[in-house]
Amino acid sequence: MEFEYLVKAESRRVSLEKKGEHWIFRAGDQTLEADVRIISGNAFSLIVGGTSHLVGIADHKDTIYVSLDGTTLTLKRPGAEEKRFEKGEEGSKEGITVVKAPMPGKVVKINVAENDAVRKNQTLAIVEAMKMENEIKSPMDGVIKKIHSSAGDLVDSEKSLIEIEPKT
């Protein structure tokens, strides 16, 4: 079986196959043979060349979180959402930029209206989470195309807040 993941936006492919009691993993020009034991649905024990690693692992949608030897990595499966986005961008060369909340929170204020011209780094909205107010700033000079949220809305980090069309 072969899988593809994004590690910091870089695509990495990894294949695995069972060989007796062990598993062979290949990624790029690297190969490793591991004795793998399932500890729980979220934990594996790997022994690779005598070295023991306890892996904590969990996923949410297309994000996989892996913890190992005191380090946590985030991998992405090249999933449906990014693809849709990509197609959107292909569809219109000077596409819309979607501004999202940087974290789940509550919209305290929307500072702009549709059709407003905005400058780069202008504050577009304020989202509060965990007793901290966070200003959402414009990534570019442009014009507000659409506003999807209003004050009081709860938003998660995947929710589009505002669409901006770049200034041409």
Partner 1 sequence: MFKKIVIANRGEIACRIIRACREMGIASVAVYSEADRAGLHVQMADEAVGIGPPPAVESYLHMDRIIEAVRETGAEAVHPGYGFLAENPEFARRLEKEKIVFIGPNSRALELVGDKVRARQTMEKAGIPIIPGMKRVADDFAEYAAEAKAIGYPVMIKASAGGGGKGMRIVCSEEDLRPALEAGRREAKSAFGDESVYLEKFIENPRHVEFQVLADNDGRIVHLFERECSIQRRHQKIIEETPSPALTPELRQRMGEAAKRVLEVSGYNNAGTVEFLLDREKRFFFLEVNARLQVEHPVTELTTGIDLVHRQIRIAAGEKLDLKQEELSQRGHAIECRIYAEDPANGFLPSAGKILFLQEPKGPGVRYDGGIFSGWDVPIYYDPILAKLIVWAETREAACRRMRSALDDTVILGIKTTIPFLKDIISHPRFREGATTTGFIKDHFGDWKEKEASGETEILSLASAAFFDSRKTSEAGVLSVRAKEQYSPWRMLGKWRIGEKSDLSGE
Distance in angstroms (rounded) separating the CA atoms of residues 143 and 140: 9
Q: Which stretch binds partner 1 (CB under 8 A): 100-108, 110-118, 143-151?
A: 100-108
Q: Which two tokens stand for residue 149?
A: 């949220």
Site for partner 1 in 27-86 (CB under 8 A): 27, 30, 32, 34-40, 42-48, 50-60, 64-73, 75, 77-79, 82-83, 85-86
Q: How many distinct helices (H) and strands (E) make up the chain?
A: 1, 16
Residue keyed to tokens 């407003």: 116
Distance in angstroms (rounded) separating the CA atoms of residues 9 and 6: 5
Shortest Cβ distance from residue 118 to partner 1 (Å)? 12
Collect all residues with Cβ–Cβ distance below 8 Å to 151 and sequence separation of at least 6: 107, 108, 109, 110
Shortest Cβ distance from residue 11 to partner 1 (Å)? 7
Distance in angstroms (rounded) separating the CA atoms of residues 133 and 52: 43
Site for partner 1 in 118-147 (CB under 8 A): 121, 124, 128-140
- Please tell me whether residue 94 binds partner 1 under the rule CB under 8 A: no
Closest CB to partner 1 among 105 and 144?
A: 105
Shortest Cβ distance from residue 101 to partner 1 (Å)? 8
Query: Among 22, 104, 108, 116, which residue interacts with partner 1 (rule: CB under 8 A)?
Result: 104
